[in-house]
Structure 1
Amino acid sequence: MKTTNHFNETIKAYLDKRAADDILFAAAYAKEGKNIDDCCTYILNEVQKSGCNGFTDDEIFGWAVHYYDEDTIDVGKKIDASRVVVNHVVELTKEEKEAGRKKAIKAFQNHMFAELQKKSAKPEKPVKKKKEIANQPSLFDL
């Protein structure tokens, strides 16, 4: 099965934490013949069966727990090509945030400076004067 390592690691991290917090699940998680690769295959097959493209974390983790809870479960066929997107939050340090802020400010300043240079480099178009129409006498003004 080809899934992203990040997907496998995310599922495994959740299951490890759940097993540490829940003694009953820890017993199921330690069953022989169960492994993270088959668990991920099972999840992907359930996703494929559903016909949907997006799931909550709880739905995916629920399938993972179900895989370990059931002794006789049909994992399904291995899926060779799959695209898995894992949501995760990146925590930046204060230094990284400050560096990003400075970089954004510098980029904005450079952009505005370039815009000003562009405007000053363009020759101004001469203002066209309206042709004055001479008042012609009217035949009706007597």
Structure 2
Amino acid sequence: MKSNNSAIAVMQQMLQERCIAEPMFAIKMANPSKSMEGAINYLCSQIQKSGLCVVDNDTVMNLLVHYFDENEIEEGAKVNCNSTTVRDSR
């Protein structure tokens, strides 16, 4: 996994916003068997499986939330990927 720090920070911010909007999600994120590194590995592996090179923020968020929502999810092997994010400035 090669995600740049700013991409990870944006993903963490997105997840924090979700925790504020849905406090029960914060409990799921606190699961000791889950981690941000695991979430990013899962995200990259799912994007690689899809064959896509670019995904939108909604897709990223859906995959990250799915990782934390499911107890029995496989992170997948570490994927060599570069992650960047672009926030919509509208």
Do these two structures clear the TM 0.5 threshold for a shared fold by scoring above it? yes
Please show how residues 52-63 of structure 1 align to structure 2 within 5 Å. 52-63=52-63
**Whole-angstrom CA distance in 1 between matches of 2:6 and 2:41:** 14
Q: 1:8·1:37 contact (CA, 8 Å) conserved in 2? A: no
Q: TM-score, normalised by structure 2?
A: 0.89
Specify every segment of 5 or more residues in structure 1 that has no aligned partner in the other structure, as ranges. 91-142
Deviation for aligned residue 1:63: 0.3
Specify every segment of 5 or more residues in structure 2 that has no aligned partner in the other structure, as ranges. none
**Whole-angstrom CA distance in 2 between matches of 1:58 and 1:16:** 15
Q: TM-score, normalised by structure 1?
A: 0.58
Structure with the bigger RCO (C-alpha within 8 Å, sep 6+) is 2
Q: 2:42·2:75 contact (CA, 8 Å) conserved in 1? A: yes
Richer in strand (by share): 2
Percent identity between the two aligned chains: 26
Q: 2:2·2:83 contact (CA, 8 Å) conserved in 1? A: no
In the other structure, the counterpart of 1:128 is none
Over the residues paired in the alignment, what is the CA RMSD in angstroms?
Answer: 1.5
In the other structure, the counterpart of 1:44 is 44
Aligned length: 89
In the other structure, the counterpart of 1:84 is 83
Please show how residues 91-102 of structure 1 align to structure 2 within 5 Å. none
